[in-house]
Amino acid sequence: MLLDDLIDSAQSDELLDEFAKREIRRAILAAVAIPGYQVPFGSREMPVARGWGSGGLQITLAVVHDDDVVKVIDQGDDDGVNAVNLRRLVTTSTGADQTSIAAEASVIQSRHRIPEDGLDEESILVLQVPVPEPLRGVERDMRELARMHAEADYSRMWVSLYEDKVRNGVITQTTGYPCLVNDRYVVATTPIPRWDIPRLHESPFLTLFGAGREKRIYAIPPRTKVEPLTFEDVPFEVEHADGATCSLCKSNAAFLVSLPNSDVWMCSDTDWCRRTREASA
Amino acid sequence: MTLAALSSRDSTMVFRSLLQAFSSPGERVQMPAHLCDSMSPLALPLLALVDIETTFCIPDDADLEAEVAELTGSKVVAVADANFVLCTTPPPQELVLHVGRGTALQPQLGCRLIVSNESHEDNLTLRLSGPGTRPESQLSVCAAASDFIAARNLAVAHPPSGIDCWLVSSDGVVVGLPRTTHAEQG
């Protein structure tokens, strides 16, 4: 890649130049080769604010080509403002097609959720990550954090979980529940809910995590062991509300969210909910 | 065959092949056929990934090394300092043990080794396990690569530091062997 090529690419509609893509690709490959390790990368300025999916967007732009079909969701919703804008950025700059159906998508960029169905070996899931460091709550010093990961010294994380259990009777962490990947690195699964954690374990698809603000990329390859941190006598539990069903599709088999100040529940994955309703109509 | 700089789309397609190979170690992934027909498939990973921010080395082919350097702007350095090392034949044990492995603090600095792997009747079969591998996953390598595999296993014996390999055949099939994959003779 020479400077002349960079000048050529500056004339195109693409949001990332070739240098940026190559650097991000090298970081992605390192992340896949070392599951769970946070690979530093030179996060670029994007047309979205950092913290609004700039890391996920950079990964998607580095991965996608014009034969791909892209799905972008935010809080499980394809039509959220952030999702619509990110999808438009990706499709206009890469020429990729778009879809709302997970099974049709080859690359799925998401914040807060893994789609309820449709991900297979051909799928690449890109998660936007606001806080990639799972140990941030127990240690602030970056050098000490690096040492703890290097030595797999997660004792303070275990103490933190134990204290949480003693104080509250349960481990209260909901989104971003810490998991051990391939028996080596603890990762933050932020921002997905506990409901989605078991689906990362031995999943058929590749998951890429991008944190643009913190300049980190990490990955969970397909068919990789992912264990939520918990104690032998404190089983890991996912979110559940007795008797709750979706007010639209009447299902209780998907992750449900409640409307504010009400007992009305709805599927978080809006496209899954729509297809469930169409199938039962 | 003469090399040429890859277009943005071709770079992406080659990268996706390499990503698929690392995601599913042992799986045979075909790199874009139109590129493999017109230039050496062994050089495609370098053409797609290296640039002026990286270093590389092709210890057994100075002409190819010069051509890649000219096309990519990447700097040629000694084997021990290279981010990427390409070997047109299975490398000797000394070379594999000499490339950079990164450190526990910075394992991403481990070298990416691209190695030629041709099919022969006397192939060795390796059993693979680890992240991304399928049950009963196997890898067939030429007998001449047995020293390379033994050295590679030594180089990845102290995770998270280690080296990551792509085995590339002349028909453009690439097989990934990241450091977390265990390879044993079956």
pLDDT per position as a tens digit, B82-100: 999 999 999 999 999 999 9
Chain B residues with CB-CB distance to A under 8 A? 5, 8-9, 11-13, 15-16, 18-19, 22-24, 48-54, 71-73, 103-105, 107-108, 110, 112, 130-134, 159-160, 164, 178-180
Q: What percentage of chain A exceeds 70 in pLDDT?
A: 95
CB of A221 within 8 Å of any CB in chain B?
A: yes
Q: Are B134 and A223 a contacting pair at CB < 8 A?
A: yes
Least confident range of A237-246, B10-19, B109-118, B136-145? B136-145
Which of A28, A121, A182 is nearest residue B131 as measured by Cβ atoms? Answer: A182
- pLDDT bucket at A5, cuts 50 / 70 / 90: low
**The pLDDT value given to residue B14:** 98
pLDDT tops 90 at residue B144: no
Specify the residue for token string 């991304």: B132
| Judgement on whether residues A213 and A250 belong to the same structural domain of the protein | no
Q: Is residue A156 part of a domain?
A: no
Determine the 3-state secondary structure of A240 from DSSP: coil
Q: Are B160 and A221 a contacting pair at CB < 8 A?
A: no
**The pLDDT value given to residue B48:** 98
According to the CATH classification, is domain B8-185 in 3.40.50.11310?
yes
User: Could you tell me the CATH number of the domain that includes residue A220?
Assistant: 3.40.50.11310
**The pLDDT value given to residue A50:** 87
Q: Rounded mean pLDDT of A91-118? A: 94
ipTM above 0.90, yes or no: yes
**The pLDDT value given to residue A6:** 58
| Judgement on whether residues A96 and A8 belong to the same structural domain of the protein | yes
| Judgement on whether residues A183 and A275 belong to the same structural domain of the protein | no
Q: Which of B9, B11, B17, B19 is the best residue to mutate to test the A interface, defined by the most A CB atoms within 10 Å of its own CB?
A: B19
Q: Rounded mean pLDDT of A45-69? A: 94
Active site residue A95: no
Q: Is residue A153 part of a domain?
A: no
Distance (Å, whole) CA A56 – CA A86: 10
| Judgement on whether residues A116 and A197 belong to the same structural domain of the protein | yes
Q: Is residue A66 part of a domain?
A: yes
| Judgement on whether residues A120 and A250 belong to the same structural domain of the protein | no
| Judgement on whether residues A279 and A208 belong to the same structural domain of the protein | no
Q: Are B73 and A225 a contacting pair at CB < 8 A?
A: no
DSSP state of B102: -
Active site residue A179: no
Active site residue A249: yes
| Judgement on whether residues A208 and A251 belong to the same structural domain of the protein | no
| Judgement on whether residues A265 and A181 belong to the same structural domain of the protein | no
**The pLDDT value given to residue A95:** 93
Q: Are A151 and B104 a contacting pair at CB < 8 A?
A: yes
Question: Between these two residues, A52 and B87, which has the higher pLDDT value?
Answer: B87
Q: Is residue A201 part of a domain?
A: yes
| Judgement on whether residues A66 and A189 belong to the same structural domain of the protein | yes
| Judgement on whether residues A39 and A116 belong to the same structural domain of the protein | yes
Beta strands in B20-80 (DSSP E): 29-30, 55-57, 75-76
| Judgement on whether residues A23 and A100 belong to the same structural domain of the protein | yes
CB of A201 within 8 Å of any CB in chain B?
A: no
Average pLDDT over chain A reads 93
pLDDT tops 80 at residue B181: yes
SS3 content of chain A, % helix, strand, coil (to 5): 35, 20, 50
CB of A32 within 8 Å of any CB in chain B?
A: yes
Residue spans of the domains in chain B: they are 8-185
**The pLDDT value given to residue A249:** 96
- A-chain residues near B112 (CB < 8 A): 29
How far off is chain A from B175, nearest CA to CA, in Å? 13
Distance (Å, whole) CA B47 – CA B94: 26
Which of A34, A223, A225 is nearest residue B179 as measured by Cβ atoms? Answer: A34
pLDDT tops 80 at residue A79: yes
Which of A52, A20, A24 shows the shortest CA–CA distance to A39?
A: A24
Q: Are A184 and B159 a contacting pair at CB < 8 A?
A: yes
Which of A22, A34, A147 is nearest residue B180 as measured by Cβ atoms? Answer: A34
Which of B5, B18, B132 is nearest residue A223 as measured by Cβ atoms? Answer: B132
Q: In this predicted model, what pLDDT tens digit does every residue of B38-83 receive, in sequence order?
A: 999 999 999 999 999 999 999 999 999 999 999 999 999 999 999 9
Residue A246 tokens read as: 């979706």
Q: How many domains does chain A have?
A: 2
Question: Which domain, by its residues, includes A197?
Answer: 3-134+176-227
Q: Is residue A158 part of a domain?
A: no
pLDDT tops 80 at residue A2: no
Which of A7, A77, A85 shows the shortest CA–CA distance to A46?
A: A85
Specify the residue for token string 């006598």: A233
| Judgement on whether residues A86 and A126 belong to the same structural domain of the protein | yes
A39-46: long-range pairs with CB below 8 Å, 24+: A39/A216, A39/A217, A39/A218, A39/B108, A40/A215, A40/A216, A40/B108, A41/A215, A41/A216, A41/A217, A42/A215, A43/A212, A43/A213, A43/A215, A44/A16, A44/A20, A46/A15, A46/A212
**The pLDDT value given to residue A4:** 66
